[in-house]
Amino acid sequence: MDELFYYSALIGGTVLVVQTLMLLIGIGGDEFDADFDADVDVPDTDAAHLGMVKILSVKALVAFFTFFGLTGMLARESELDLPSSGLLAVAAGVASMFLVAWLLASLTKLHSRGNLDFGQAQGSTGTVYLRVHAGGESGGRVTVEVQGRRVECRAITHGEEIAVGTPIVVVGLANSNTLEVRPAVSPSQAGD
């Protein structure tokens, strides 16, 4: 049993150190990366499933084996009997696994999806980034300020084609993430 504690601590500890180094240099942080569109929302019913996934994540399992091994070795060094050492090691491993799962879940909650309400863009002005095709054809892109942030969005127009660099005004929302725009009337054009 002493060998089990030793190899669990050695292998788990090695993997833990490698994971930490990889995280520090920017590799392997994909457990909380998510690519959500502005109109996607995660239902609350998935929270229990996400919690179970965090408990069974590689990081949580590595923590289990590391602390299982270290606690077992420490208990044996303190001359505890084998059953007590094993029970203490399992308790430490399970506790560390749940602690890591809780930390991962907490970090996930901090992750911002940056949701924007494009409905609030109506009346905003901006410029054409990629030409907006005539007749409602998709493929155009504009930059506008929405909710205090300058963003690049898909755009359509039901009028004539709008060239790159042309000032525009948002007249509506074509769908959840596509704006309907028209050329902005400059003060000099308004007086004509």
Q: How far apart are CA 156 and CA 135, in angstroms?
A: 8
Over residues 142-169, the pLDDT tens digits come to 999 887 888 888 999 988 999 999 999 9
Torsion of CA 59, 30, 20, 95, to 10 degrees: -20
pLDDT confidence band for 38 (50 / 70 / 90): very low
Q: What is the pLDDT of residue 43?
A: 40
Greater confidence (49 vs 160) lies with 160
Greater confidence (109 vs 36) lies with 109
Structural tokens at position 64 = 């289990």
Q: What is the pLDDT of residue 28?
A: 60
Q: How far apart are CA 146 and CA 128, in angstroms?
A: 15
Q: Specify the amino acid at residue 33.
A: D
Over residues 66-109, the pLDDT tens digits come to 999 999 999 999 999 999 999 999 999 999 988 988 887 777 66
pLDDT confidence band for 1 (50 / 70 / 90): confident
Q: What is the pLDDT of residue 37?
A: 35
Find the mean pLDDT for residues 58-68. Answer: 90
Output DSSP code: residue 119: G
Does pLDDT of 19 surpass 50? Answer: yes
Greater confidence (46 vs 52) lies with 52
Does pLDDT of 44 surpass 50? Answer: no
Does pLDDT of 39 surpass 60? Answer: no
Q: What is the pLDDT of residue 149?
A: 83
